Structure formats: C-alpha cells, structure tokens
Structure 1
Amino acid sequence: MKGMIAAEQTVQEWGNGLGVRITAPIAKAAHVARGTPIVVEVVEGGFFVRVSGKPKLSLAQRLKQFDPQMHGGEVMASSPVGKEIF
C-alpha cells in the first residue's frame, strides 16, 4: 500500500466494552468520518477493521448538500396542490 500511515494505540475501556480511538490523520487517510459503518473481523493474530458502506447523513448534513439549482429552487419540483392553489 502506497504511503501507508500507522499509529500505535492502546485498547481502553469504553462502557461495558473496549474501544480504540482512531486519530484524525488515520481517519482522514482512510476517508472515514463519524457515522461511517465498519466491519470488525477476527483474523489470525488480532482483528481487521474495514469500511462497509457510506456514512448515514444527519438531516442537517443532508440539507447542507441540497442544491436549489439542481432541484429548480424547490424541495418538491411538482406543481402546487391543495391550499396552495388560489
């Protein structure tokens, strides 16, 4: 793997389980963020962590990505219905 980044970590108690903190440089290099789904697999000599999909976005994150130009300036590009019609 080209330009591999590594960091020594310590397993810590986290509630009733154990946890490992992913440092910002490693998260950035791996293109992961809060909410990114992962899979943890037990392998010979330890475990392997890999991304299993895209992060689920919060409503605020989805609204931030909204492009009015792409959607004609409206959330719903259909014609008016109900009390909107005068």
Structure 2
Amino acid sequence: MAPALKVEQTIQEWGNGLGVRITSPVAKAAHLSQGVPISVEVVKEGILLRVVGKPKLSLNQKLKIYDPSIHGGEIMNPQPIGKEVL
C-alpha cells in the first residue's frame, strides 16, 4: 500500500537531541494535533511513530467545553456556608 502523503525532511539539532518538524499537511493526513501522545519505535526499516492515546486537554480547552447542565450543574456559592463562616 502506497503512503497517502510522502515528504522529505531533514533531521536537525533540537536542544541536546535531534528532531524533525511534522509539517501541517503531514499532521493533517496522519490526524495528529498538539498534545497527542505517541510512541516512538525503532524498527528494521527506520522509525515508527504511533498514536497511543487521546490528547490531554488544557485548562482553557476544558473550560471551553464545560456545560453545567451536562456536568452536574454545580456552581460556586457566592455566600459563605458551613464552618468557613467566622
């Protein structure tokens, strides 16, 4: 099976290691986005990158999708209650 997209890139120094930039067309074709966990495996033919889970959401992303009617409807009480009243 032929690859859906093939590009040639150059390995470059990145800090104390080496890195390669995954360009936008390659990321889109592979369904990759920032934060997606991957495994890196050395195989006979070279290196294999494999998605191993779903991306972890940032706090801003979590707050953006938060809906009180779906997520329990909890809200902060503006009035002190319980033992925190002095």
Q: TM-score, normalised by structure 1?
A: 0.76
Do structure 1's residue 45 and structure 2's residue 63 form an aligned pair?
A: no
Q: When the two structures are aligned, how many residues end up with a matched partner?
A: 78
Aligned residue runs from structure 1 range 1-86, under 5 A: 4-71=4-71, 74=73, 76=74, 83=81
Matches of 2:49 and 2:71, distance apart in 1: 38
The amino acid across from 2:45 in the alignment is: G
Structure 1 residues not aligned, in runs of 5+? none
- Give the fraction of aligned pairs with identical amino acids, expressed as a percent: 59
C-alpha displacement of 1:69? 3.9
Matches of 1:83 and 1:41, distance apart in 2: 54
Structure 2 residues not aligned, in runs of 5+? none
Q: Which of structure 1's runs of 4+ aligned residues deviate more than 4 A?
A: none
Matches of 1:83 and 1:54, distance apart in 2: 39
The amino acid across from 1:40 in the alignment is: V
Q: TM-score, normalised by structure 2?
A: 0.76
Over the residues paired in the alignment, what is the CA RMSD in angstroms? 2.4
